[in-house]
Structure formats: structure tokens, C-alpha cells
């Protein structure tokens, strides 16, 4: 059983990670590259000197690192989904889509309400503070959805609703205003492109994980 779950998560993650990388290559990376040109121009103008930090070269090197990161992340999330499926009696493709929508809500929509995707060079404040708030938001959103959907008692549902609200009541550690060398219109394009890419990714991951899980479940 464990081997089937592992293989299902690996296959679903591989497919969805490849899809995400393809969408990013077509829609997201060109926006990032344009923003990096603004960032470089601003750095030269301010005479900050040479930047010795390593970064992957444009082309295959950058794409290979992006692909590896996306597939690794997708495999981890795919394993998380099939692990959740194993706790249910039967999983349909529609249920897989619902699980994908839940993942999209937890890992993208909820954090983006306070910390929207940002272009290179944007001034966002403390990295530790932002990472802590992101982790809090994801944890509370996941726990809140579980209580709202899978519990029948009203008081548990109320706790779930409270968990959904808490991170946004605390507030994200930023001003909510875009500050960076690239035009704000480019930042808006980036947020839309990133949202679409993540939405398609979670849809594919939900469908692929449910389909592969069902195939392996039938061989049990």
C-alpha cells in the first residue's frame, strides 16, 4: 500500500510540476525577466557596485533549476494529497478537483490576500516576518477548512471559521503598497499570471492525483 501511495504521489507530482513549469515559461518568467531589467537599471543608477551573488544563467540553466524546484514541490504536495485520499473510502475525479481547489485556496489564495506575489526588487520588509505569517496563514487555513468540511458539530465549525480569520485579523507584515523599480502595472500582470499558473497547477494536481490513485487502488 505504501509503495502504491508513493508512486501515485510521484507520478501526479511529476505531471503537474511539468505543467506548472511550462506555464511559467510561457507567462510568468517573461514578466520576471522584464522586472529584472528594471532592477538592474535601478542598481546601476544608484551605483551599488558589482553584485557577486550567484544566480542561474538565462536559458537552460535557469529553466532546469525552475523545473527541478517545481517538480520537487509538486511531488511533495502530490504525496500529501494521496495520503489524504488514503483516509477516505473512495475518491472520484471530481473529489480530486475539490481537493485541488482546497490546496489552491490554502497555499495560494489565503496567503496572497496579505502577501501577494512580488516581482524581483520589490521592497517587502523582513523576510522572517513574511515567512512566519505565510506559515501561520497556511496552517490556519488548512486547519480551518478541515474543521468546516469534515466535522459536524457547530462549535468545531465555528473554531474552523475563526482559524480562517485569525491570520488576516493579525495582518500581514507589509504596508500593502507596491514599492519597487518596475512599474506597478507589471506587478499587477505578474500577480494575475502567477494566480493563473497556480490555479492550473492545482487543478492538474488534483485530477492527476485522483486518477493515478484510483488506478492503483483498483489493483489492490
Per the domain annotation, does 91 fall within a domain? yes
Average pLDDT of the segment spanning 126-142: 92
- Residue range(s) defining the domain that contains residue 21: 2-41+63-124+174-218
The CA distance from 85 to 94, in Å, is: 13
Enter the C-alpha cell of residue 93: 475525479
Which band of pLDDT confidence, cut at 50, 70 and 90, is reported for residue 65? confident
pTM: 0.85
Mean pLDDT for the stretch of residues 200-209: 96
Instruction: Count structural domains, the chain.
Output: 1
Whether residue 132 is contained in a domain is answered as no
Segment 155-168 mean pLDDT? 96
Residues near 179 by beta carbon (within 8 Å), at least 6 away in sequence: 122, 123
Contacts of 45 (CB under 8 A, 6+ apart): none
Model confidence at 48, pLDDT cuts 50, 70, 90, reads very low
Residue 43 has pLDDT above 70, yes or no: no
Residue with the bigger pLDDT between 126 and 75: it is 75
In a domain, 153, yes or no: no
The fraction of the chain above a pLDDT of 90, given in percent, is 54
In whole angstroms, give the CA distance from residue 123 to residue 53: 18
* pLDDT-based confidence at residue 55 (cuts at 50, 70, 90): low
Amino acid at each position: 500500500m505504501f509503495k502504491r501511495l508513493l508512486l501515485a504521489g510521484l507520478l501526479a507530482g511529476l505531471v503537474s510540476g511539468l505543467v506548472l513549469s511550462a506555464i511559467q515559461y510561457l507567462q510568468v518568467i517573461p514578466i520576471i525577466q522584464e522586472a529584472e531589467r528594471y532592477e538592474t537599471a535601478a542598481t546601476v543608477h544608484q551605483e551599488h557596485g558589482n553584485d557577486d551573488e550567484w544566480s542561474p544563467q538565462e536559458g537552460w540553466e535557469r529553466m532546469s533549476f525552475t523545473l527541478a524546484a517545481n517538480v520537487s514541490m509538486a511531488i511533495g504536495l502530490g504525496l500529501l494529497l494521496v495520503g489524504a485520499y488514503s483516509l477516505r473510502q473512495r475518491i472520484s475525479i471530481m473529489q480530486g478537483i475539490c481537493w485541488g481547489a482546497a490546496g489552491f485556496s490554502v497555499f495560494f489564495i489565503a496567503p496572497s490576500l496579505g502577501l501577494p506575489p512580488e516581482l524581483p526588487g520589490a521592497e517587502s520588509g523582513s523576510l522572517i516576518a513574511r515567512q512566519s505569517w505565510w506559515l501561520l496563514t497556511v496552517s490556519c487555513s488548512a486547519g480551518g477548512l478541515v474543521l468546516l468540511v469534515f466535522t459536524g458539530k457547530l462549535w468545531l465549525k465555528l473554531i474552523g471559521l475563526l482559524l480562517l480569520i485569525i491570520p488576516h485579523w493579525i495582518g500581514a507584515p507589509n504596508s500593502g503598497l507596491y514599492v519597487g523599480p518596475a512599474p506597478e502595472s507589471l506587478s499587477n500582470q505578474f500577480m494575475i499570471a502567477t494566480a493563473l499558473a497556480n490555479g492550473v497547477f492545482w487543478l492538474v494536481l488534483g485530477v492527476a492525483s485522483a486518477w493515478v490513485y484510483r488506478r492503483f487502488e483498483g489493483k489492490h
